[in-house]
């Protein structure tokens, strides 16, 4: 395990787990955590074999959001320092959104402001039913920024997004599942098992396919259908080239032999590696 000042990173085969580690501050994100998160992402990318990245919190919180004193109050009177302090945060938020591996938020407690943002930036999310989510920025006089409004508008229906942005009210993990912010809400004692279940599914897949599938999803959300089809066909040829036509030479050949049912399971990639 790599232990940084505010973040721990564990890598086990194709899985990396990032632990936000300021439990005494409810894992609030201070400048050091932003630097540590960039370093953790650097390390994961350099490893070159990670398919799934789980982000979670140490203690009873996922993250209470930005550390209001260290990120805002203390540097505010120095415009350049304020800009540099928060640019580090904005950089890793953008990196997480576009990360090559599949990112999974495992929300184990409070997820306010930046905590909700990170949940929304991850590709998938699992939460305990009793976790609390919120956008509390309106309660101290601003609107959710740094990507937090984007996370709400892209993960919640319009009325729900505006409700939580404008009132500062909280939602439970169960409500977060109902509104689409997370994939699953489970009892707290099942959070690890449910996250592991999803991770096990992800790591069986072709990593090139995982990365390109994410790219196709993100790009085609802004395209009309003809443009989207042109784009996904080009990416399909890219996938074939980069993976040695694995989907035909291995996956469909196994299907031809009725070795598996694509609707129920994935193909055995051992043949592709041999």
Domain shared by 245 and 132, yes or no: no
Q: Where are the alpha helices (DSSP H) in the chain?
A: 31-47, 79-97, 114-121, 148-155, 158-167, 173-179, 191-203, 207-220, 225-242, 246, 253-256, 270-273
- The reply to whether 191 and 220 lie within a common domain is no
Tokens of 20: 């936000």
CATH number for 124: 3.90.226.10
Domain boundaries, position 79? 2-203
| Residue 139 and residue 232 in one domain | no
Same domain, 144 and 17: yes
Number of domains forming the structure of the chain: 2
Domain boundary among 203, 229, 251: 203
Judgement on whether residues 96 and 137 belong to the same structural domain of the protein: yes
Amino acid 274: pLDDT: 53
CA distance 25 to 240: 47
Residues 221 and 116 in one domain: no
CA 70 to CA 28: how far, in whole Å? 10
Query: Are 6 and 30 spatial neighbours (Cβ–Cβ below 8 Å)?
Result: yes
- The H or E element containing residue 57 is strand 52-57
Judgement on whether residues 176 and 218 belong to the same structural domain of the protein:
no
Each of the 274 residues of the chain gets a pLDDT tens digit; together they read 999 999 999 999 999 999 999 999 999 999 999 999 999 999 999 999 999 999 999 999 999 999 999 998 888 899 998 888 888 889 999 999 999 999 999 999 999 999 999 999 999 999 999 999 999 999 999 999 999 999 999 999 999 999 999 999 999 999 999 999 999 999 999 999 999 999 999 999 999 999 999 999 999 999 999 999 999 999 999 999 999 999 999 999 999 999 999 999 999 998 877 5
Pull the structure tokens for residue 259: 């070795």
Q: Same domain, yes or no, for 123 and 37?
A: yes
Regarding whether 230 and 101 lie in a shared domain, the answer is no
Total count of residues recorded for the chain: 274
Structure tokens at 174: 């169960």
Model pLDDT, residue 171: 98
Domain boundary among 169, 203, 237: 203
Q: Give residue 249's pLDDT.
A: 94
- CA 112 to chain CA centroid, Å, is 15
Task: Return the pLDDT at 73.
Answer: 87
Following CA atoms 153, 155, 156, 157 in sequence, which dihedral angle do they give, to the nearest 10 degrees?
A: 80
Same domain, yes or no, for 188 and 251? no
In Å, what is the CA distance from 23 to each residue of 26, 27, 57, 61, 237? 5, 5, 8, 7, 46
What b-and-e string marks burial along 98-120, b requiring 16 or more CB atoms within 10 Å of the CB? ebbbbbbbbbbbbbbbbbbbbbb
Written as six digits, the tokens of 1 are 């395990």
Residues 52 and 169 in one domain: yes
């Amino acid at each position: 395990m790599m232990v940084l000042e505010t973040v721990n990173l564990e890598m086990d085969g194709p899985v990396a787990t990032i632990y936000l580690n300021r439990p005494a501050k409810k894992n609030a994100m201070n400048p050091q955590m932003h630097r540590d998160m960039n370093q953790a992402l650097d390390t994961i990318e350099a490893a070159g074999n990670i398919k799934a990245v789980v982000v979670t919190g140490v203690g009873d919180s996922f993250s209470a959001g930005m550390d209001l004193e260290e990120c805002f109050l203390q540097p505010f009177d120095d415009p350049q320092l304020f800009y540099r302090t928060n640019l580090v945060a904005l950089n890793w938020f953008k990196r997480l959104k576009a990360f090559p591996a599949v990112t999974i938020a495992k929300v184990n407690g409070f997820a306010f402001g930046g905590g909700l943002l990170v949940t929304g930036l991850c590709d998938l999310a699992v939460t305990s039913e009793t976790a609390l989510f919120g956008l509390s920025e309106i309660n101290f006089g601003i609107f959710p920024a740094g990507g937090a409004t984007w996370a709400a508008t892209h993960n919640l229906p319009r009325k729900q997004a505006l409700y939580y942005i404008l009132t500062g009210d909280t939602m439970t993990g169960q409500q977060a599942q109902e509104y689409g912010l997370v994939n699953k809400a489970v009892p707290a004692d099942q959070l690890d098992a449910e996250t592991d279940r999803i991770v096990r599914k992800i790591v069986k897949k072709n990593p090139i396919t995982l990365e390109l599938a994410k790219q196709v999803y993100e790009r085609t959300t802004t395209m009309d259908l003809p443009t989207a089809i042109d784009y996904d066909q080009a990416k399909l040829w890219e996938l074939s080239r980069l993976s040695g036509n694995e989907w035909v030479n291995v996956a469909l050949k196994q299907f031809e032999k009725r070795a598996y049912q694509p609707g129920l399971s994935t193909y055995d990639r051992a043949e592709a590696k041999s």
